[in-house]
Structure 1
Amino acid sequence: MGFFLETLFGGLMAGMLYALVALGFVLIFKASGVFNFAQGAMVLFAALAMARFAEWVPAWLGLESKLVANLLGFGLAMVCMVGVAWVIERFVLGKLVNQEGITLLMATLGITYFLDGFGQTVFGSDIYKIDIGMPKDPLFILESTFEGGILLSQEDLIAALIAAALVATLALFFQYTATGRALRAVADDHQAAQSIGIPLSRIWVIVWSVAGFAALVAGMIWGSKLGVQFSLSQVALKALPVVILGGLTSVPGAIIGGLIIGVGEKLSEVYIGPMLGGGIEIWFAYVLALGFLLVRPQGLFGEKIIDRV
């Protein structure tokens, strides 16, 4: 039982990190109705910006505090992500208002390659380190209940709590603020939103900035765990099954989908993997997502679209 709970907790913590990355997909889709293939590139770009600014700025100013360096790096990286949001709206989305969804989809692919190349040009292509002080030592809990206790990673636990707090905050933002309601209105119908005075350009800058903030937090956490390298953009691929499972239009769906994927892949790897020769953790999420596409394409919490002709 102790080993099962250890695996379960590990899956829940991994699932919260998947949900954090998936949140960027949901935010962009809710505001523009397009699937944002650039989210992985945004995670990488934000992590690169934070890692490099945290290294450069203290050297320029003669600072020695690691906390100050990280705060400055985070702040300047967020400024960069807001700048990226403004550029995307000004030069890409603003030119494609009311275009077909496939046009916007291809635009996000172009943004992906631009951010990958621009990030490498500005920040370099080596492997960089983000050290935000998260403890690396393991933590044992419930030692009085289970022999030897249950082993948890303190780093994963703190990362999961940060991700959970951000996801909950953004869910409340969408549900209870005027800006959140405006974002939902824009997602439903661009022309109708404009006709009642909602400024489309401002809304798109806001939502891409918020998605950039989510990407920055995700990049900071994953960069602390894995190092900042160009393979980091592949982390976003794990978020694709999450949004398919939870629904492209649902922030709570991103949370539930992430937890299901995280727990499912950990348990399947441990209990089913040995019978299949291992490696099930790599493809489990995609097979589960495929099954949902066959029986419930809109996901668990997505809106069912009915076209009447």
Structure 2
Amino acid sequence: MDMASVYEFIEFSTIGLLSGGVLALVALSFVLVYKGTGVVNFAVGEVMMLGAYLYYAAHVSFGLGPIPAFVLSLAAIAVLAVLVERMVLRPLSGQPTVSVLMATIGMASIVHGTVEAIWGGDTFTVPPLLPRMPLNLGEVLIPGTAIGNFAVAAVLIGAFIAFFRYSKTGIALRATASDPVTAATMGIDIRHAQRLTWILSSLVGTVAGVLIATSANLSPLLASTALAAFAVIILGGLDSIVGAIVASLIVGWIDAVAAGYLGGKARDLVPYVVVLAILVMRPHGIFGTRSIERL
């Protein structure tokens, strides 16, 4: 292998690992809801898309600066999460899990249809939220957006890990996710904890959506990005934040290397083949909790 091939492999690998950071945010949005409620939220992709469109509208249509537009989109999504929790999810409390799951599918359809009704199916170029100055490491060129996005993702994920480990609220959320009945007997407000879980998940998804939209383009197809996160959360474990991070880096690396050497269409196949092969050996994921059924 000549040096040019070595540099090429390093470049593909670095870009893949950096892109895995944003993928980890998408996976984290899934994991937060699953840990807190036991439900897979199928509306994550649409929340990402809506948050990105709100950022675009605030920044481009209304002329706000990138940071105010970003904050405004986060605030709007937080309000939406509260309304959905009160009007849709709370009435379904105590119902079978599949009822809540179907509700998230219904919400996804409503959000998708609303976005297409307002903005149509056109593709928009979104002004950057972060600097796009590339990093040149000799023969290896790293896009500036990949570095900035990874930095934002790393800081946010680190903050969440610290929040859940050290803060009183984070510990309460972990207790609620682990054993809601015991948590309630200890005085923890279960409804408040679950509402906060939905809000945090929506905010994380919005950050991921904005980062993806400003790195590429914005269209309703952005919602499909969440499909890649399914491979991540299945590989890493639905209930593991650490698993989501590690699996995101693995899938991001495989995706970039496959696209670099086999072409763009390979990225739609190769990561899932690898994930399937791993799951044959570890059906509950790398860090997922093994469920035990007594007969």
TM-score, length of structure 2 as denominator length = 0.91
Query: In 2, distance between residues paired with 1:104 and 1:192?
Result: 22
Query: Which residue does the alignment assign to 2:272?
Result: 286
How far did residue 121 of structure 1 move? 4.2
Aligned residues: 290
Correspondence for 1:77: 73
Instruction: Give the superposition deviation at 1:182.
Output: 1.8
**For structure 2, which runs of at least 5 residues remain unmatched after alignment?**
1-5
Alignment correspondent of 1:246: 236
| CA positional deviation for 1:17 | 1.5
SS at structure 2 position matched to 1:228: coil
Following superposition, the deviation at residue 102 of structure 1 comes to 1.7
Whether the aligned pair in 2 keeps the contact of 1:98 and 1:190 (CA below 8 Å) is: no
Question: Is the contact between residue 132 and residue 144 of structure 2 (CA under 8 Å) also seen in structure 1?
Answer: yes
Q: How far apart, in 1, do the equivalents of 2:14 and 2:125 lie?
A: 26
Residue 292 (structure 2) pairs with residue 302 (structure 1): no
Q: Is the 8 A contact 1:22 1:254 kept in 2?
A: yes
Letter in structure 2 aligned against 1:228? L
Counterparts of 2:120 and 2:254 in 1: how far apart (Å)? 36
Whole-angstrom distance in 2 between the partners of 1:38 and 1:156: 25
Out of 52, 56, 62, the position equivalent to 2:57 is 52
Residue number in structure 2 paired with 1:12: 17
Indicate the residue corresponding to 1:62 in structure 2: none
Residue aligning to 1:179: 169
- CA positional deviation for 1:266: 2.3
Distance 1:179 1:31, change over 3 A: same
* Structure 1 Cα separation of the partners of residues 10 and 61 of structure 2: 43
Alignment of 1:99 with 2:95, yes or no, is yes
Quote the sequence identity (%): 32
Moved more, 249-258 or 190-199: 190-199
Alignment RMSD: 2.0
Partner amino acid, structure 1, of 2:29: G
Q: CA deviation at 1:122?
A: 5.0
1:13, 1:160 within 8 Å by CA — same for their partners in 2? Answer: yes
Instruction: Give the TM-score taking structure 1 as reference length.
Output: 0.87
Contact 1:48 1:128 (C-alpha < 8 Å) held by counterparts? no
Call closer, same or farther: CA 1:158–1:173 in 2, change over 3 Å: same
The partner residue of 2:38 within 33, 38, 50 is 33
Q: SS of the residue aligned with 1:92?
A: helix
Corresponding residue of 1:201: 191
| Alignment equivalent of 2:145, drawn from 155, 166, 176 | 155
Moved over 4 A (4+): 121-125
